Structure 1
Amino acid sequence: MKAKRKNNIIYLVLSLFAIAVSLNIYLSNYLESQLSKLLAKQEIKFTGDVSTNVLFGNIFVENIEARKDSLLVKAHRLEVKGVSYVSFLFNDVVKVSEISVFKPIISGVILDKEANNTSKNNSTNQLPIINIENIEIINGALSVKNNNGSPFKIDDFSLSLTNVRYKDRLISVIPFLYEDISFTLNKLEYQQSTTQMFALDKIIYSNNFLSIHNLEIIPLKVKEEYIYHVPYEKDLLSLCIKEISIPNFIIQTAPKLSFKATNTQINYADFEVFLDASVLNHPKHKKKDLYSKSLRELPIQINFDTIQIKNSKILYKEKLSSKDKAGELSFHNINAAIYNLSNTGNKETEIAVTSDFMNSTPFKVNWNFNVNNPLDEFFIKGNLATINAQKINSFIEPKLKVRVDGRINSLSFNLYGNNTYSQGDFAIDYENIKVKVLKNNKGVRKVLSWLVNLVLKNSSKSEMKEVKIQKLERDQSRSFWNFLWKNIEKGLKETMI
């Protein structure tokens, strides 16, 4: 009796196993057929094997290829684990434990927004609701171009997302939501124009900690030639930042893409700006917004509590004539703190900067503005300590054709401004200032120099000479820094002449 019962149990187990295997084979073939149809419907194809396992809910696809608009994605392997087939077959909802994509390569052309919207509106292929516990992209690469043919490359990237939820017509900057994200990027390059390229060595983002290494803006043309490759007078930029670290960096995608951080550290930024104004005209028709408006109109939301910039440098060069060398201004040992850099609230942005002007004398600036103020009002004040006037000759000789001797003991300004005008206070203490007016061949115009020094007040007589800067109209085709310089220039003229 016991032997018979034992045989019945073995028979039952074998029967159930045979039924399970048969059911697995049948459902696997059915699901592979349905999967192939679904992939074809979404313009996805594969040249390798497709294998499924109903018992464990696993799907493996080799050598998969997908096309979306003008972009092509090829992947070495796609693994989908823990699929709930019942939910997919009867409720049109895909529930998945894990999706892994190995060695995807993205190539093609990134269409502009209008083209992408047209493509989306014309598409009738809608995906079902999708819930995925974890998505991994491993050792991917990207090589695409925009409509202008400018390349964008990433040599290697990996990405992980948890609790991903996709639903058609989701109100978000991207068509899905997620709980957590981490990624690494290696060797990113983007050609912004014919004269500039953006590059970085590495980005790491994990557990809300973001670090960026060796971020650069690289000139693609030499200073002597770049101006012949741009449509109008334009700066040539060179930037190198060794490291940016943000320990509490939050990325949100709904209802709008936003970035939030409490403390951002920028270590050693070397920034050079070169302007060749000897060939092309300045574009008077091209309006330059103040920083508050530019931040206010960003397509993303930002909220940075504190940004600290340490041990940095700025060098500005301006060439006005093909016969003269470029004038130079420099700021070394820059340390700055930026508070409340945000376009989401109504807090005032505060910027405090200390530096060594011309690598010689302390220069301090405090600057306040409210990003969401529609008048773009700002307050800026600064103070320059003692400096020999000869230190600024490298800038004013090619710019103004004059050479200055003497000493500035102190210079300060306190200005209010907005998008249309500025006004404020200017003060300077100086002594033994003498001016030589130069000829084009670097000789001195003696008579003109004598006349200039005759009307020039060569000393403030050991006291701060103060003047009011009345309404100064802003040239809205010029930058904020040009606006600031015009105020200082006006203050110098009214105190010294």
Structure 2
Amino acid sequence: MSRFKKILLILGILALFIVLLNKGAEYYIAKKLPSILNSEKDFPYYVSYSDMDVNLISGNFTIYNAKLTPKDSTDGANRQGMFGNIEKLEVKHLDLWKLWREKNVDVKKVILNRPDVNLYPKNKDEEQDTVKKPFKNSITAGTLQIKDGRFALLDSAQQPALLASHISFELSNITADSVTVAQKIPVTYKDYAFSCDSLYYDAGVNYKIYLGSLNVADSAIAAKDFRMMPKQTRREYTRMIPVEHDQYTVNADSIGVKKIDWGYNNDTLYIHTPEVVLQNVFANVYRSKEPKDDPSIKKLYSNMLRSIKFDLKADKIMLKNSTIEYEEQNTFSRPPAKVEFSKFYASVYNIYSPVGKDTLPDTKIDVQCLFMKAAPLNVAWTFNTLDKSDSFTIIGNIQNLPSQYMNKISKPLMNVTTQGTLNNIKFTFNGNRERGSGHFAINYEDLKVELYKSDGSKKHKLKTFLGNLLVKNDSNGGKKEADVSVERKKDKSVFNFLWLFLQEGLKETMLPGLVTTVI
């Protein structure tokens, strides 16, 4: 046999040996990997799967119908920890040499197809240990992908507290090791993208939140069909609260956040964004007056921002084409008073917390809308978060309001209805946490009033007659003006404060005799 043929024969035998060795190793890994992992004390899960394809030469693995079950929680009635099913798990180009020599995982790509994960509540300390155990060495990956996943976070009653479907997720340039896992964000990465739909969140005793879809990519967030719904009817909610408290219903067609930057600076969370846009918001705020008053002091908005313990910086928040309603009900035997702001456009500038900042620009709120679906309303509101007196200025202007549109407010709360036209109302209100003062001016014509008995069902003829004698029918083509001062009720909101100012302005200009003599 020639020397060349011998070399070919030897190479052929070596190649066959390598192939057989590879096949043998693949078979061994496929059959033995679950028992190896399940016997590893530091690995906290039982692992099983229906089939596995292994290619040691390329470092590619494909696992079918994988199941992950915590070793310390197998009872279906008392589950704790994470339970997962993955239809197909693909691992691309695992560096086996580094895994063998250094016991570190270095892989180019991991793809989880149709994972279904249920996370049950567990002791907090045990949760942290479970997370740390698999990361004693290091894991690096070029890309992690999740395709068409489902995730459920269960509460102590094993009911969904968070549920998301059709999850797609991609994370690139990933590193996790014993250092990163101890940090606030347990991995380092470069880019990420996330999307899901049919998201549900149980927001506690009173509310549930739904999202039609959520997309996060390139440091931007886009959410559609947001709904925050009360769990109780108004009567149920009123019966269960010990003191007065608002009930909220909020919907939004879309919420967009541009170029959000977030993370931790040492141990301080920071969230920065140049713009947040909310489209077609409907917000209803309902308050029953049947429960007793809440005597606690209410913070003004500057104080609320000053109390935030993380670094918040939102340069601009915009509400477009929205509707805001406030309803207040003295008793369920009568309809609530209702204030409506439609075609609501608002721009809020400089929403900052003081964390990490020595000076702050003024927060400014500009609003244009229709008041009671009838009259154009413009409001400019300014305050500074760092001002510990919580001073603010609100400037407003309402035009061409038929006064009968105010009857939704005045009849339930004051047993008064009016007819006529409020041509123009202008006010400047300067306030702080203690008191407020400012200027009120009104132009009106053809004003008539009707006063009702205490139950609101029948007109009080004598008081109506006297009221129309005392109220001037119009402002004689000019403005009626007054300088107004009011004391703040500290157990009420800033909007109650503003209402006290406006109410006092009306008393001193349009309704002085009516308010002081007839009612």
Same fold (TM over 0.5): yes
In the other structure, the counterpart of 1:403 is 417
Per-residue CA deviation, residues 470-491 of structure 1 (Å, 9 max, x unaligned), is 352242x433322322222232
Q: Would you say the 8 A contact 2:152–2:160 is kept in 1?
A: no
- Amino acid of the residue matched to residue 101 of structure 1? L
RMSD: 3.4
**Residues paired across the two proteins, number:** 489
Per-residue CA deviation, residues 217-260 of structure 1 (Å, 9 max, x unaligned), is 224444454423445433333222122334x3334333355444
Q: Would you say the 8 A contact 2:37–2:43 is kept in 1?
A: no
1:249 aligns with 2:272: no
Which shows bigger deviation, 321-330 or 338-347? 338-347
1:338 to 334, 344, 348: 348
Take 1:397 and 1:483, find their aligned partners in 2: how far apart are those partners? 20
**SS of the residue aligned with 1:415?**
strand
In the other structure, the counterpart of 2:82 is 72
Identical counterparts, % of pairs: 22
* Aligned pairs (5 A) from 1:337-416: 337-343=347-353, 346-416=360-430
Which shows bigger deviation, 36-45 or 23-32? 23-32
- Amino acid of the residue matched to residue 275 of structure 1? R
Q: Would you say the 8 A contact 2:174–2:189 is kept in 1?
A: yes
Q: Would you say the 8 A contact 1:126–1:168 is kept in 2?
A: no
2:279 to 262, 267, 283: 267
TM-score using structure 2 length: 0.82
Q: CA deviation at 1:188?
A: 1.0
Q: Would you say the 8 A contact 2:152–2:161 is kept in 1?
A: yes
Q: Would you say the 8 A contact 2:452–2:459 is kept in 1?
A: yes
Take 1:146 and 1:299, find their aligned partners in 2: how far apart are those partners? 27
In the other structure, the counterpart of 2:171 is 161
- Amino acid of the residue matched to residue 284 of structure 2? E
**SS of the residue aligned with 1:103?**
strand
In the other structure, the counterpart of 1:18 is 17
1:305 to 295, 303, 315: 315
1:42–1:399 distance in 2 versus 1, CA, 3 Å: farther
2:59 to 57, 62, 77: 57
**SS of the residue aligned with 2:98?**
helix
In the other structure, the counterpart of 1:44 is 45
Q: Would you say the 8 A contact 1:172–1:253 is kept in 2?
A: no
- Amino acid of the residue matched to residue 65 of structure 1? L
* Aligned pairs (5 A) from 1:21-170: 21-22=20-21, 25=24, 29=28, 32=33, 36=37, 41-48=42-49, 49=51, 52-61=54-63, 62-67=65-70, 70-76=80-86, 77-110=88-121, 116=124, 119-120=127-128, 125=133, 127=135, 128-146=137-155, 151-170=161-180
1:460–1:169 distance in 2 versus 1, CA, 3 Å: farther
Which shows bigger deviation, 18-27 or 197-206? 18-27
* Aligned pairs (5 A) from 1:208-247: 208-246=219-257
In the other structure, the counterpart of 1:314 is 324
Q: Would you say the 8 A contact 1:369–1:376 is kept in 2?
A: yes
Take 1:159 and 1:299, find their aligned partners in 2: how far apart are those partners? 30
Q: CA deviation at 1:134?
A: 0.9
Q: CA deviation at 1:363?
A: 0.1
Q: CA deviation at 1:108?
A: 4.2
Q: Would you say the 8 A contact 1:215–1:242 is kept in 2?
A: yes
Take 2:211 and 2:249, find their aligned partners in 1: how far apart are those partners? 13
Per-residue CA deviation, residues 196-233 of structure 1 (Å, 9 max, x unaligned), is 32111111223344322111122444445442344543
Q: CA deviation at 1:263?
A: 3.8
**SS of the residue aligned with 2:94?**
coil
1:188 aligns with 2:190: no
- Amino acid of the residue matched to residue 308 of structure 1? M
1:443–1:89 distance in 2 versus 1, CA, 3 Å: same
Take 2:91 and 2:428, find their aligned partners in 1: how far apart are those partners? 63
Q: CA deviation at 1:459?
A: 4.5
1:5 aligns with 2:4: yes
Take 1:409 and 1:203, find their aligned partners in 2: how far apart are those partners? 45
1:495 aligns with 2:504: no
Take 2:46 and 2:307, find their aligned partners in 1: how far apart are those partners? 41
Q: CA deviation at 1:261?
A: 3.5
Per-residue CA deviation, residues 147-166 of structure 1 (Å, 9 max, x unaligned), is 58673222321211111222
Q: CA deviation at 1:182?
A: 0.7
5+ unaligned residues in a row in structure 2: which ranges? 74-78, 513-519
TM-score using structure 1 length: 0.85
2:437 to 423, 437, 442: 423
Take 1:16 and 1:75, find their aligned partners in 2: how far apart are those partners? 38
Take 1:191 and 1:353, find their aligned partners in 2: how far apart are those partners? 32
Which shows bigger deviation, 79-88 or 327-336? 79-88
In the other structure, the counterpart of 1:205 is 216
- Amino acid of the residue matched to residue 378 of structure 1? F
5+ unaligned residues in a row in structure 1: which ranges? none
1:262–1:124 distance in 2 versus 1, CA, 3 Å: closer
1:447 to 449, 456, 462: 462
Per-residue CA deviation, residues 305-351 of structure 1 (Å, 9 max, x unaligned), is 33332221122222112221111111111122222333365233322
